[in-house]
Amino acid sequence: MQLKYYRRSLVSIGVSLVLLIALWFSFHHKTSSSSNATVSTELALPATTSTTAAVKTAAGDKTDWHVRSIESGDNLASIFKKQHIPAAMLQTLLKNKLTKQYLTNLKPGQTLQLQIHNNALTRLNYEFSINQKLSIAMQDNKVNSKIITKPFSESLLLKSGTVRHSLADDAHNAGLTNNMIFELEKIFSGKINFNRNLHAGDKFRILHQEFYLDGQKVKPGHIMAAQIQTKNKLYTAIRYTTPAGVSGYYDIDGHGLQPMLLRAPVHYTRISSPYSLRRWHPILHTWRPHFGVDYAAPANTPIHAAGDGKVTFVGQGHGFGNMVMISHPNHWTTVYAHMRRFAKNLHTRQYVQKGQTIGYVGMTGLATGPHVHYEIRHLGLRLNPRTTKLPGDKPIPWKARKDFKKHEKILLAELDLLKNQG
């Protein structure tokens, strides 16, 4: 009985699947409504120009599919006008919430497909992302709209190499994208000084996500596991998402690899002035120490709290302009200066979390361009945020340790496969 029920539900799932596939294909095909003369032709989407394909049905009605690539300056009204679709249809269409949301914001490069039957719009597809489209069917002034999403499939890919010149160059040659190299350096930034600790002959192996759509590679994802083998030490990082949904990198014992404090509190474009015990001040024109790092970034770039902590100062810091100070556990303090403005409602004695936006890049106080002057202090000492040793981030929560170990075992086995291949 149970088996029968199970089989029946399998059949119904199968039927729904077939229906779904048929639905999907119907958007790429034009089909006449007549019962005995069904015409079905695949329409290839052109890169830039608009195409028209007319289909004469048995009854002699005219149904056209128009495919056009959105160009800058295009909007729905101008497109409809060109296709001689009555303006009233546009009004009807825009009364639908979903339709209005997507079609009033057409983006250049994306594709719009219109099915027109005797000068009336019958169907519309708008592919607004690589795997998503808005699909509309119109009948008797009724708008039926939905979003269709094609799921990505995912697999893990292995990449490896040997350090010859610099990790960045050699990782690039091994096929890592710039984002992956950035991620790799960030993962190990608390453990390895890439200028000092890496030498020619050291090896790296990484396992990263790769997303596919219809069997085609679409985009790489995160690094899921990485190893760097130096002459006398093996560094391992495993990406793990806790049951609470927080992702991070851990060593094989489940200790957080990211330092407790961010070495840069902003997505910067360059370091405009490094930490130095003696530097020529560009405005004051004297030699004086620079007890922080200046991270240059466009004005208004968000500045993040470097770690969990309590805000101890929000206000004017003389030459530092708009400044924030945060106190972290175990006598660590961070300082952020020259902000254009503070995050809304930021105040002293407020608790903030690592990564939370506390203000925006500016050039208040003594500054020659937009940047954040960033300091890390410990027990009163002002340390170099780029190189100082920092305590590690939170470990894997106890409840998740067993799951982490299982996850780690699988990823390490994959990495070892690569090792054995040489």
Q: What are the residues binding Zn ion (CB under 5 A)?
A: 292, 294, 373
Q: How far is the CB of 336 from Zn ion (least distance, A)?
A: 11
Q: Which is nearer to Zn ion, 28 or 279 (CB)?
A: 279
Q: How far is the CB of 292 from Zn ion (least distance, A)?
A: 5
Q: Minimal CB distance to Zn ion: which residue?
A: 373
Q: Which is nearer to Zn ion, 328 or 373 (CB)?
A: 373
Q: Which is nearer to Zn ion, 207 or 339 (CB)?
A: 339
Q: Which is nearer to Zn ion, 208 or 304 (CB)?
A: 304
CA 400 to chain centre: 26
| DSSP for 190-224, written as a single string | TT--TTTT--TT-EEEEEEEEEEETTEEEEEEEEE
Q: What proportions of the chain, in percent to the nearest 5, are helix, strand and coil?
A: 25, 40, 40
Q: How far is the CB of 372 from Zn ion (least distance, A)?
A: 8
Q: How far is the CB of 307 from Zn ion (least distance, A)?
A: 20
Q: How far is the CB of 353 from Zn ion (least distance, A)?
A: 25
Whole-angstrom distance, CA of residue 325 vs CA of residue 373: 12
Q: How far is the CB of 374 from Zn ion (least distance, A)?
A: 8
Name the residue among 115, 28, 116, 107 with its Cα closest to residue 74: 107
Residue listed under structure tokens 């100082």 = 388
161 Cβ contact list (under 8 Å, min separation 6): 170, 171, 173, 174, 203, 204
Q: Which is nearer to Zn ion, 239 or 371 (CB)?
A: 371
CA distances (Å), origin 2, targets 5, 8, 9, 336, 381: 5, 10, 11, 65, 71
Q: Which is nearer to Zn ion, 67 or 262 (CB)?
A: 262
Q: How far is the CB of 380 from Zn ion (least distance, A)?
A: 19
Structure token pair of residue 330: 């175990």
Q: Which is nearer to Zn ion, 161 or 365 (CB)?
A: 365
200 Cβ contact list (under 8 Å, min separation 6): 163, 164
What end-to-end distance do the CA atoms of the chain give, in Å? Answer: 54
